[in-house]
Chains A and B, each alone.
Chain A
Amino acid sequence: MALIKYVLRRLVQAVPTLVGVALIIFFMLRVLPGDPAVIIAGPEASKEQVEEIRRQLGLDKPLHEQLFLFFGDLFRGDLGKSARTGRPVTVEVMEKLPNTILLTVMAHIIAVPTGIVAGVVAAIKRNSSIGLGITFASLFGISMPVYWLGLMLILVFSVTLKLLPAGGIGSPSHLILPSIVLALFLMANIVRITKASMLEVLGQNFIRTARAKGLREKVVLYRHALKNSLIPVITISGIQFGSLLGGAVLTETVFAYPGMGRLIVDGILARDYPLVQGAILIFATLFVAVNVVIDILYAYVDPRVRESLWIARP
């Protein structure tokens, strides 16, 4: 019962955040020094052409009027039409969104279990060569630019060995390289968080108590320590989901994979402002939604947080 209440409250709390997100996107494209109309028209356009584009985008109206129109359209689920293709932005986005979700889900399936296992090993055996090896590999993983890793994998597996397609979409084999690239990046992060969290938990009193009770080391490690150290891993993987979406922007470009990231990048390159605005809005909304789910999961898993959240939150 209390959990349902918390879920509802958390959902309600997300509303002002989403309004804030929409406001920021609205003002970013209208108030900041760069003028979309001038950028769209290009450097050689005449004043009249710029004015014409401004009128088409509705940028000639007073700001407060634009704001009302923007939110009015938003509530009706209308994100406008792509300047390039003339199709509704929602249609464009919904075509590409499943591809990006597929990619990030694949990356999670590969990275979360392996990352947690490797992180635990790195913590327990931190002074052995295997522990140090994992720690070092994870440092490599977080420092590697994902797009470069993608290029190098294409070089090895597509250009040299001719085993996998270099890009595009169509068969499951097209998914292998992009999901591995994203997964390695995510895995490196999960290893580092799991290791740090595990080490912190191992230093706490209840672990000492468990050992003093004479419990076997395995029971102490897996039943007492691991359970508690996974809690931060959940929260962080929520935040990581964001950087994963970011990583998807680059990975999709490298592998010519038709997802949200490429849609946004192509939109910016083609100066398709309605598309960029709508796609970023949906992307950010997705991120907010994931964080709400993570928060709820977090409260569900950790009784301490659960209680403090229910009591302390105004």
Chain B
Amino acid sequence: MVHETKYAEAWLRFRSDLGAVAGLVILTALVVMSVLGPIIVPEDPVKTNLNRALEPPGISGLLGRDELGRDILSRIVHGAPVSLGIGIFSVMIGASVGVVLGLISGYFGDKTDTVIQRVADVLLSFPSILLALSLVAALGVGLVNVVIAVGVSTIPVYIKLVRGQVLAIKNEDFVKAARLLGLNSAQVMLKHIMPNVLPVIVVQSTYYIGFTILVASGLGFLGLGVQPPTPEWGAMLGGGRTYIFSAPHILIFPGIMIFVTILAFNMVGDGLRAALDPKAPIVVKSLRRKRHE
């Protein structure tokens, strides 16, 4: 009950945030594009036509053709579900593992905590793209391995984040009461701690979907991510890179798509953070009041 009102209030705050709403509109458009786009687009995104390679926008197709004569518009549209899928699935991997380990680490404390925290510390010693790169080096390239590699690289941050939240509330009265009522550890964690940690996870995951898409597109650009002919935006940029002098149109549109997608996730993330963190508006209000006085 308490949580429902909290979320209703958060939604009201979110709705009044122009940037957040704009981000949400862009994301909705991307989802619609992922679902309907592949049916509508003019051409097969992997069909090559070397006679028409590098044709600029306007002559054939709205956005021109790439180095193998494939229609860029079709490839961009087909790339939307690829990128969104990578973002969502890798965050699901990172969040599910990281949240469970973070809950356990914070709730049980002691030696379990020490072990989990040391492992998280070590994983955090790798810059995330480096961790993803090392995993790709070990697992090999390709869509599934990229999702795993990028997903795993987000785990330690979830562990730290959730553990911090659990430590902050595990000695609150309502948690103690739940334990006294005879609930076991799993029940206390799921029913009483989890609802309080959830907002933080939601905010972090929103940012992270954008971030994982960014990292995965970087891997694609390096030739270490999703492999051609799959139309992934980063890989499209990597493939067209050598044509920067002769056919720059290949490089412009996939980059804009990556940029807009990540911008949208960051805007929604900012909006969610402001909306779900009840402290934020109070600070702003108190500042305003001070000014008027």
- Residues of A whose CB lies within 8 Å of any CB of B are 16-18, 20-21, 23-25, 28-29, 32-34, 36, 39, 139-140, 142-148, 151-152, 154-155, 159, 166, 199-200, 202-203, 208, 211, 242-243, 245-247, 249-250, 253-254, 264-265, 268-269, 273, 276, 280, 283-284, 287-288, 291
A32 and B130 contact, CB distance less than 8 A = no
Note all chain B residues with C-beta closer than 8 A to A166: 244
Contact surface of B with A, Cβ cutoff 8 Å: 19, 118-119, 121-123, 125-130, 133-140, 210, 214, 217-218, 221-224, 234, 237, 241, 244-245, 248, 251-252, 255, 258-259, 262-263, 266-267, 270, 282-284, 286-287, 290
A145-B218, A152-B255 given as contacts; is B125 within 8 A of A287 (CB)? Answer: yes
Say whether B245 contacts A20, CB under 8 Å: no
Q: Given that A268-B137, A276-B137, A284-B125 are known contacts, is A155 also in contact with B262, CB under 8 Å in the complex? A: no
Q: Apart from A17-B121, A268-B137, what 7 extra A-B contacts exist at CB < 8 Å?
A: A139-B270, A148-B251, A242-B128, A246-B127, A249-B129, A269-B223, A287-B125
- Whether A34 lies near B125 (C-beta < 8 A) is no
Q: Cβ of B245: which chain A residues have Cβ within 8 Å of it?
A: 159
* B244–A34 CB distance below 8 A: no
- Interface pairs A-B: 8 shortest CB-CB: A20-B122, A246-B129, A148-B255, A242-B127, A203-B283, A143-B263, A246-B127, A143-B262
Contacts A151-B255, A283-B130 hold; do A28 and B135 have CB atoms under 8 A apart? Answer: yes
Residues of B within 8 A of A287 (CB): 125-127
Residue of A nearest to B207 (CB): A142
Q: Is the interface of A mostly helix, strand, loop or mixed?
A: helix
Contact partner of B221 (CB less than 8 A), chosen from A16, A36, A143, A147, is A147
Contact of A145 with B262 in the complex, beta carbons under 8 Å: yes
Contact B133 A265 (CB under 8 A): yes
**Which of A36, A155, A253 meets B251, CB within 8 Å?**
A155
Taking CB atoms, residues of chain A closer than 8 Å to B137 are 28-29, 268, 273, 276
Within 8 Å CB of B214, what residues of A? 145
Closest to A39 in B: B140
Contact B119 A144 (CB under 8 A): no
Cβ–Cβ contact A284 & B266, under 8 A: no
Q: Would you give 25 A-B contacts (Cβ < 8 Å), ordered by A?
A: A16-B118, A17-B121, A24-B122, A28-B137, A33-B139, A34-B139, A139-B270, A143-B263, A145-B255, A152-B252, A155-B244, A199-B284, A203-B286, A242-B126, A243-B129, A250-B129, A264-B130, A264-B133, A268-B133, A268-B136, A269-B224, A280-B130, A284-B130, A287-B127, A291-B125
B19 contact set on A, CB distance < 8 A: 139
Contact of A243 with B127 in the complex, beta carbons under 8 Å: yes
Cβ of B133: which chain A residues have Cβ within 8 Å of it?
A: 249, 264-265, 268, 280
User: Which of B222, B234, B245, B267 lies at the interface centre, i.e. has the most chain A CB atoms within 10 A of its CB?
Assistant: B222
What's the Cα separation between A16 and B244 when bound, in Å?
46
